[in-house]
Amino acid sequence: MVACSTAGEVDKLWEALSEGGTELMALGEYPFSKRYAWVQDRYGLSWQLMLTEGGPEVQKITPCLLFSGDACGKAEEAVKYYAEVFENAEIGRISRYGEGEAATPKAKVKHAAFKLEGLAFAAMDNGQDADYTFNEAFSLIINCRDQQEIDYFWEKLSAVPEAESCGWCKDQFGVSWQVLPSNWKEISFGGSAEQQQRVNKAMLAMKKIDLEVLEKARLGISDR
């Protein structure tokens, strides 16, 4: 979701992102915005372009989670759950569909605003009952200070065992997360080529990241 300060900015982004892409909602005026469009670009990523002229200052680009399929109707539950998981969290305004406003009765939340660690997000239930769902094509990275933080977030967010791989997990709503150490670049690419190879081999065999095992791999220490 892109907050645009002028109608011209909306139009310019629409022209660029719609080239070779697919229109999801036509460029025009809507009850919630005087200039708005929803487009899927040529790479399959979807964008909501919205004129926010005269409104409060907002984050320029806001990740927006659309709860569809089995997850439709769970947007509010998810937002509240994430606000419990993250210590620095804030739930903003939640607007709901009126009677008959959504094509499916499962959809409850029209738009919800929330923040996790200072980053603004939006969430909504899919009112069109379209066949969308979350998958690993989109994930959120959590940069963890230490193994204790890795263990905490993994326990809270990993709900699908078969989706666990190399620090990736999937929560009960279908959203994918990467639970990684904040010094991941140093761990992966530090040291000699031989050390990097050992660390990479150890990492590929992991589900949850284990910093002690990676350090032993870097040093060439065997547990045997």
Question: Is there a single domain that holds both residue 75 and residue 113?
Answer: yes
Same domain, 116 and 50: yes
> Domain boundary at 125, 154, 174, which?
125
Range of the domain at 95: 2-125
Q: To which residue do tokens 């469009």 refer?
A: 37
Number of domains in the chain: 2
Same domain, 152 and 104: no
Q: 132 in a domain, yes or no?
A: no
The ranges of the chain with pLDDT < 70 are 55-56, 223-224
The verdict on residue 45 lying in a domain is yes
Buried b (16+ CB within 10 A) or exposed e, 126-147: bbebeeeebeeeeebebebeee
Q: What is the pLDDT, as a whole number, of residue 55?
A: 65
What's the CATH number where 14 sits? 3.30.720.110
Task: Note the pLDDT of residue 28.
Answer: 97
Single out the residue of 34, 16, 37 nearest to residue 26, CA to CA.
37
Per residue in 17-37, pLDDT (tens digit) is 999 999 999 999 998 899 999
Same domain, 166 and 94: no
CA distances from 96 to 30, 124, 210 (A): 17, 9, 42
Q: What is the pLDDT of residue 131?
A: 78
Last residue of a domain, one of 125, 153, 181: 125
